[in-house]
Amino acid sequence: MKWAPPGERSIAALNGPWLLRWSAWSVVALILAGCQGMIMDPAGDPSGPGTGKGNGSTAATAPVELMRRLTRTEYWNTVKDLLGPGATTTQVLPADDQVAGYDNNGQVLGIGPLLLEKYAMAAEELVSSALAVTNPEGRARLLTCDFSGANETPCARQILTSFGRKAWRRALSAEDVDRLMTVVQANRTAGDAFEVALGVGLQAILTSPHFLFRVEEDPALGVLNAHLLNSYELATRLSYFLWSTTPDETLLAAAQAGTLQDAAELERQARRMLADPRSQALVDNFGGQWLRTRQLAQVQPSPQLFPSFSANQLGQAMATETALVFAEVMQADRSMLDLLDADFTYVNAALAAHYGLQGSFDASRFTRVTLPAGGNRRGLLTHAGILTLNSTPTRNSTVKRGKWVLDRLLCQEPPPPPANIPQLPSGPTSGSLRQRMEQHVSNPSCAACHGKMDPIGFALEHFDAIGAWRATDGEYAIDARGTLPDGRSFDGAMELARTLKEDPALPACIVRQLFTYALGRRPEAADEPALAQLTQSFGAKGYRMKELLVQVVLSPTFRMRTAQQEPHP
Amino acid sequence: MKKSWELSRRTFLRGAGTLMALPVLEAMAPSMARAQSAGVPAPRRLMAFFVPNGMYPTEWYPTTSGESYTLSPLLTPLAAYKSDFLVLSGLGNKPSHFSPLDVGHVASTSTFLTATPVTEAPLSNGISLDQVAAAQLRQYTRFPSLELGTRSGAAYVLHTNISWGANSTPMPKETRPDLLFDRLFGGTNPSESTQEAENRRRRRLSVLDSVKQDAQRLETKLGRQDQIRMDEYMTGVRELEQRLQQTRVNQCTQGTRPPEPQDIRQQVQLMLDMTVLAFQCDLTRVATFMYGEAVDDSAYNFLTVPNGSGGTLPVSQGHHTLSHDILAGSMSQKMYSAICKWEVEQFAYLLGKMKAVQEPDGTLLDNSAVLFGSGIGESNVHDTLNMPILLAGRGGGKFRPGRHVVYKDPLNFNTEGVPIAKLFVSMLGAVGVNVTRFGQNGDGPLPNLT
């Protein structure tokens, strides 16, 4: 199928099994997850808390996609790909805020004055270091033609055209190139050497909204329905989804040839990209945010109580462990549900000691180990990182652990505690943590949600604030039994993992999480049929991550865009 | 329902853009130079200093009011400045309650300076106090405002932002004092020749000219929400352009570049030093300092409390966790109070620095309106209807500090205090930004400040 120019694109250009399903889709009611109806908002807000997972008032409208700025991670990956490793800057970009759990959410990827200033300064430093005489690799990459004498102007045009195409992820128009040439020539005329003047043109490319934003144009005025992305826009979505960086030449060429609109070619490209080392970005940026292990860089276990944590750099090791397990499950095409009870993990010497594993391990290199049957550590819930990031600095937290499971694995985050809750007596100051936490559940206004969260946390009571196994809670025996309101009960982490692995909410939640990351927006009511379809095919393909990634890429939602409200005249 | 509101904010943004076209040269003169020209009032500055997780109420609120009130235990670090600040008790932020999310910590943080309900899908919030001030005061200074803080990392947008621009845009924070120094004094490299500086300026302006054309052309092809985003981009470009066009050299002493801080204590003090320097050099007149973030569970291992048997214990439990475990006299309550007190000490440090700067008509502190507080009051019940609030400085003569003003019994947690938005109307007035309303319920100035 040939790429059709904007305006001629239509829904009919979609092929494959998705077409029928898409046309049959209708809006379904959004089922709000959480502890329905039990929490009253004392302020009388009619919507009450807990509507965060979707906004009822927009249930019938098509989701709007916002033009997204590159995230900080995407920006650094991209400039490295464009300019080579020798290009450097002293600029530090602020971290991107998260919405719906991910930092690539369109809602917050705007550009305030501070960011623009930093991008402009970074472009200046990056270009001058890329063209520095001390950086032959960068010069060879950028100065691709002979610019002596009369060759100067055509060579500059050629460089701007070629670099601009890579940086803006689309072919430049003659007008685009003319505009950039004006910049180069003006500075050349003012007395700059050729390379300096050319560098100003390159800076203009890297400071332009065409570079900093992933531009997706809306079609002509008055067209308010969904339309296919053009091939370059699709290539850009694909590349930042799977690689967190700019399209490579192969992908750009497919976009330029228009072949990417063909589902078979799109799938071929997606599979090629998943086999490329750059797909590690999914582990780091999707996995690290889905499972929240990115936050391990910020946890602060008490150095008095847990001296080994900082002494042995356990936080970094914990994050690496989970990333390696995630990567193996994805790359080896195992069921993603195996994350819950995988019989293997990866450890360095410090983590092996933390886990009490016998054998000799390297201080920095991670070794794959098979976990013994009948042991107390198996699967994600027993990864020290997951346990640590859901603890307070001095103790484990049943609430945080329960909330993490509900939110990250089941997409059933309970609503937040209300404001101005009735005064509770401060809990007992003695007894096991479990006994103290059970106070929560004795209060009806707390029970609705804590009744769901706390039992999950109780199952993990054998793990302390940094995820080490403990036989007792100080002087108290550990009771790791829990029962959910629906009657499912378990004793300890292994049984909890088994319960969760059988829960149909788990694969549906993985789909929902990946969808949020792929589209950079929270799923809305209109997306429920697509989510259901993806969940169904995820199951049909053995819950393999790469298959799910391919299905997301092939889905109409990924390949299309809903026009925003009519632009201003 | 929301659309026309967005449109009006967009109009507002455009309005702000036209204001900054003509810098007021006299007012741009740094305060050092101005000190020699008698009769010209020093600029007025506005600042907000946020702390998370509330203040332990029974040790925060003074038990007496008026001029001769006695400092409460948590206010003792401010003893040297007792005549320089007001304790304002019984102010609340009711609009925060109408946010469909965690009203306790999250909404009370993100609405701390907006007094407007916040929503997360779609993300929407009001414009914050500082940004309202910056929209007008930007015409006088190189930087419209500074958004400063101590944390920047993988965190939820409504935990990490108190400063919100038009169009519900959270304003990213600078958290490194060394980088802030570079930003404030960048472009004044003493080893650079005039010709080199001029060449660099020319190149930068040509980059901005080019990208401005890109943005203008692009805007015609975008949907409405994206056009608003492109407007933000253009605002940033114009701001940079304006800064490049100002060739005036800083006339105040910029001092030495601070190091990259090694711990939170050093970070806070260096950030506050830089803020005072920016005010002193009149590089900006508006700043926010967000200490920590909502639900901040940082440990304070450098603080200790008596262990009851002659020794001490480090405060190793997390701040948020402790704030929910405040049975009077318990070890956790003492640790919580120790953190609160340390935060007040940081504010005292700021006031000391501001008071040490002499201007023609008083000190820098006299010429400022500085807010200190938390969005949350009694933390264990998530009370956001009664907030712990201080207002320091004389606002150039608009406030009469040295008093404890009680607007409503702040220890009655479940009844609503007087809208803090009214205080914002008064603070804006003190810095010459005359508004009659602020946020959702600020329908006029706060009484009894003079």
Yes or no: say if A299 and A315 are a contact pair by the CB < 8 Å rule: yes
Q: Which among B206, B229, B414 has the least Cβ separation from residue A186?
A: B206
Q: Does the CB of B170 have a partner CB in chain A at under 8 Å?
A: yes
The rounded Cα A448 to chain-centroid distance in angstroms is: 30
What does the DSSP 8-state code read for residue B83?
G
- What is the C-alpha to C-alpha distance for residues B226 and A170, in angstroms, rounded to an integer? 19
Residue A498, CA distances (Å) to A172, A222, A339, A344, A459 in order? 54, 53, 11, 16, 12
Q: What is the CA radius of gyration of chain A?
A: 26
Residue of B nearest to A45 (CA): B98
The half-sphere exposure of A459 on its side-chain side, counting CA atoms within 13 A, is 27
Q: Does the CB of B414 have a partner CB in chain A at under 8 Å?
A: yes
Helix (H, G, I), strand (E, B) or coil at B86: strand
Q: What is the pTM of this model?
A: 0.88
* Of A279, A291, A391, A392, residue with least CA distance to A336: A291
CB atoms within 10 A of CB B14: 14
Yes or no: say if A451 and A483 are a contact pair by the CB < 8 Å rule: no
Judging contacts by C-beta atoms under 8 Å, the chain A residues touching residue B239 are: 113, 116-117
Q: Does the CB of B383 have a partner CB in chain A at under 8 Å?
A: yes
Find tokens 């009619």 and name the residue.
A46
The rounded Cα B380 to chain-centroid distance in angstroms is: 25
Say what the pLDDT of residue B7 is. 31
User: Residue B48 has which token pair?
Assistant: 């907000």
Q: Does the CB of B195 have a partner CB in chain A at under 8 Å?
A: no
* Mean pLDDT, contiguous 10-residue spans, chain A (569 residues): 35 44 31 34 32 36 84 97 95 90 93 92 96 96 95 97 98 97 97 97 98 88 74 98 98 96 97 98 98 93 92 96 98 98 97 95 97 92 98 92 95 76 53 75 75 90 96 90 87 96 97 98 94 98 98 96 65
Say what the pLDDT of residue A51 is. 32
Q: What are phi and psi of B54, to 5 degrees?
A: 70, -175
Judging contacts by C-beta atoms under 8 Å, the chain A residues touching residue B97 are: 41, 43, 45, 419
Q: Convert the pLDDT of each residue in B288-336 to its tens digit.
A: 999 999 999 999 999 999 998 999 999 988 999 999 889 999 999 999 9
CA geometry: angle A16, A18, A21, nearest 5 deg: 140
Flag residues of chain B having pLDDT under 70: 1-39, 154, 187-190, 247-251
Residue of B nearest to A197 (CA): B203
| Residue A265 Cα, gap to closest chain B Cα (Å) | 28
- What is the C-alpha to C-alpha distance for residues A37 and A39, in angstroms, rounded to an integer? 6
Using left for φ > 0, alpha for ψ between -120 and 50, and beta otherwise, residue A295 falls in: alpha
Q: Convert the pLDDT of each residue in B206-235 to its tens digit.
A: 999 999 999 999 998 888 889 999 999 999
Question: Which residues of B, range 15-74, sit inside 8 Å of A by Cβ?
Answer: none
Q: Do A420 and B160 touch (CB under 8 A)?
A: no
- What is the C-alpha to C-alpha distance for residues B156 and B154, in angstroms, rounded to an integer? 7
Yes or no: say if A229 and A170 are a contact pair by the CB < 8 Å rule: no
User: Residue A556 has which token pair?
Assistant: 């109409």
Cis bond before residue B122 (omega within 30° of 0): yes
DSSP β-bridge partners for residue A149: none
Yes or no: say if B381 and B56 are a contact pair by the CB < 8 Å rule: no
Long-range (24+ apart) CB contacts under 8 A made by A518-521 are: A518/A241, A518/A552, A518/A553, A518/A558, A519/A63, A519/A65, A519/A557, A519/A558, A520/A65, A520/A66, A520/A68, A520/A102, A520/A104, A520/A105, A520/A106, A520/A109, A521/A63, A521/A65, A521/A66, A521/A100, A521/A105, A521/A106, A521/A107
Q: Which among B123, B206, B385 has the least Cβ separation from residue A187?
A: B206
| Residue A127 Cα, gap to closest chain B Cα (Å) | 13
- Interface predicted TM-score (ipTM): 0.86
Question: What is the distance in angstroms between the CA of the first residue and the CA of the last residue of chain A?
Answer: 34
Yes or no: say if A38 and A286 are a contact pair by the CB < 8 Å rule: no
Q: Does the CB of B400 have a partner CB in chain A at under 8 Å?
A: no
Q: Do A565 and B123 touch (CB under 8 A)?
A: no
Q: Do B103 and A416 touch (CB under 8 A)?
A: yes
Q: What is the dihedral of CA B174, B179, B184, B185, to 10 degrees?
A: 180
Residue of A nearest to B202 (CA): A187
Residue B28 identity: M
Query: What are the residues whose beta carbons fall under 8 Å from the beta carbon of B218, sequence distance 6 or more?
Result: A209, A210, A215, B230
Q: Does the CB of B269 have a partner CB in chain A at under 8 Å?
A: no
* Number of residues in chain A: 569
Q: What is the CA radius of gyration of chain B?
A: 22
Strands A367-370 and B85-92: unpaired
Q: Which among B119, B154, B316 has the least Cβ separation from residue A305?
A: B316
Q: Does the CB of B157 have a partner CB in chain A at under 8 Å?
A: yes
Question: Which of the residues A420, A440, A449 would you substitute to probe the B interface, choosing the one with the greatest number of B C-beta atoms within 10 Å?
Answer: A420
| Residue A291 Cα, gap to closest chain B Cα (Å) | 12
Q: Which among A67, A200, A563 has the least Cβ separation from residue B206?
A: A200
